[in-house]
Structure 1
Amino acid sequence: MDLSNLTLVLRAALSHAPEERKAAEASLEQLQYTQQHLVRLLQIIVDGSCDMAVRQVASIHFKNFVSKAWSPIDPDETRKIPEGDKSMVRENILGFVTQLPPLLRAQLGESIKTLILADYPEQWPSLLHWVTHNMESQDQIFGALYVLRILSRKYEFKSEEERIPLYQIVEECFPRLLNIFSTLVQIVNPPIEVADLIKLICKIFWSSIY
């Protein structure tokens, strides 16, 4: 289903008419495993010209489906998300963190958490490079820290053996984190955005030592 028709289905899922809403929900259920469905949902979520209510429905549908199907609990599950779609989502989802309002970012953050738990580091080795690269970018630093916070939480309260991948994260990110933190705390009368960055850094440190 193309973007325009998918947008119409998502809008119908908001309908006050029970029959129209149920038909839309059934259509979304049927579309879930079709090629490009997740990618198109992501496109709608980040489309600033699209109605916010539709974007929110898309983000919830995206989050719920990713949670259920990205790494199925049942090993015999025959329905799979196409690997090409998974790759495209991994390649694009991180860059949208800073573009979204908090309501949508929260939904996307839950999806990123699911992807990280399932795929990092084996299926997503480029993730850490994305984080370190964007920690140097004024425009993407919030997104980098937001993702790093999710990544560091993967290793909270884990055994020493399970925390081995964390060592590389600490080695590559913490010197940069310290520099960023030192710069931020010297800002006089900082805006709320600076406080948010400082809070994220503190949470990253906390997650990395527990």
Structure 2
Amino acid sequence: MDLAPVIETLQATLVPQTRKQAEEKLAQFCKTSGFIPCLIQIILNEQCDMGARQAGAIYLKNHVNTYWSDVNDLHATTDLDIIALANAVNVDVTKTNGDKSQKPSLISDTDKDYLRNILIDAILRIKDPLRCQLITIAGTLIKCDFPSKWPQFINQIHTCLSTDNIETWNSILLVFYILVQYYEYKKVEDRGPIDDVMLVILPILHQRFMQLFAHNDSDQSAMIQKLILKIFHAYTQ
């Protein structure tokens, strides 16, 4: 997919007079396979206009949030207590409420695979405010795809924590914290995936915490130590 027209359209969304037309054009672009790789290339391109990069990151975040799931079921529930109560009053809450709750995905499987493979690396390569948009996207993928459709995620986390780059630790821990928060209040029987992950990740988190505590008194070190403690608290409470 050609980057130039997408960059031009993203820039046009920043101008009130051309915003509506540009948004309509992006809505057509997003139906094309290769749109997500195109946006990622723009976001990562330091030679590209920062306004276009920010607009691309925000558009990608909203696009993924809306269309990543094949079907967004806003009304169904799998909570057994709720289902039992509903059955007692002859209300069916296990099925979708008509067609209005279903949104067919506009994102091709190829684009999904691309984003799962590139997202962590992309987060490590950029700074805020672009980074925070991609971290939010990672949260959507965690909720929709982990662990079955994103099995490489934990290997990516472990690899990043195994480096000696403190900047990498900070970014990757922000992503990992989202995963832990997602499981924070789940029932014991639903916490299997995070328990399996922590068997691998907790030892290296402890190692990094003690390393920073003993040998690095910088502000960044303090922030990372605090983040590790927040992760541990969210997991154990």
TM-score with structure 2 setting the length: 0.82
Distance in 2 between residues matched to 1:89 and 1:136, nearest whole Å: 23
- Write the distance in 2 (CA, Å) between the matches of 1:78 and 1:175: 41
| Alignment counterpart, residue 185 of structure 2, candidates 142, 154, 157 | 157
Distance 2:223 2:231 in 1: 12
Aligned residues: 207
Q: How does 1:169-180 map to 2 (within 5 A)?
A: 169-180=197-208
**8 A Cα contact 2:43 2:130, kept in partner:** yes
Partner Cα separation in structure 2 for residue 173 and residue 54 of structure 1: 36
**Residue number in structure 1 paired with 2:235:** 208
Unaligned runs of 5+ in 1: none
Superposed displacement of residue 79, structure 1: 4.3
Q: Give, as a single letter, the amino acid of the residue that structure 1 aligns with 2:173.
A: L
Instruction: Look at both structures and tell me which one has the larger radius of gyration over its CA atoms.
Output: 2
Contact 1:135 1:176 in 2 (8 A): yes
1:70 paired residue among 61, 68, 71 = 68
Q: Does the Cα contact within 8 Å between 2:123 and 2:134 map onto a contact in 1?
A: yes
Query: 1:135–1:141: 8 Å Cα contact kept in structure 2?
Result: yes
- Compute the displacement of 1:208 (Å): 0.9
What is the aligned partner in structure 2 of residue 13 from structure 1?
13
Could you tell me whether the CA contact under 8 Å between 1:10 and 1:24 is conserved in 2? yes
RMSD: 1.6
Indicate conservation of the 8 Å contact 2:12/2:22, yes or no. Answer: yes
User: Which among 154, 165, 175 is matched to residue 128 of structure 1?
Assistant: 154
Query: 1:33 touches 1:79 (CA, 8 Å); kept in 2?
Result: no
Which secondary structure state, in structure 2, belongs to the residue aligned with residue 185 of structure 1?
Answer: helix
- Structure 2 letter corresponding to 1:119: D
Q: Is the 8 A contact 1:95 1:143 kept in 2?
A: no
In structure 2, the partner of 1:145 is 173
Measure the CA separation in 2 of the matches of 1:196 and 1:46: 25
Task: Structure 2: give runs of 5+ residues left out of the alignment.
Answer: 74-100
Cα deviation, residue 207, structure 1: 1.7
- The answer as to whether partners of 1:98 and 1:142 remain within 8 angstroms in 2 is no
Aligned-pair identity in percent equals 31
Q: Deviations over 1:105-125 (max 9, x none)?
A: 111111100001000000011
Which of structure 1's runs of 4+ aligned residues deviate more than 6 A? none
Letter in 2 for 1:117: K
Q: Say which SS state the counterpart of residue 102 (structure 1) adopts.
A: coil
Letter in 2 for 1:122: S
Deviations 1:125-153 (A, max 9, x none): 11111111111112332233222112111
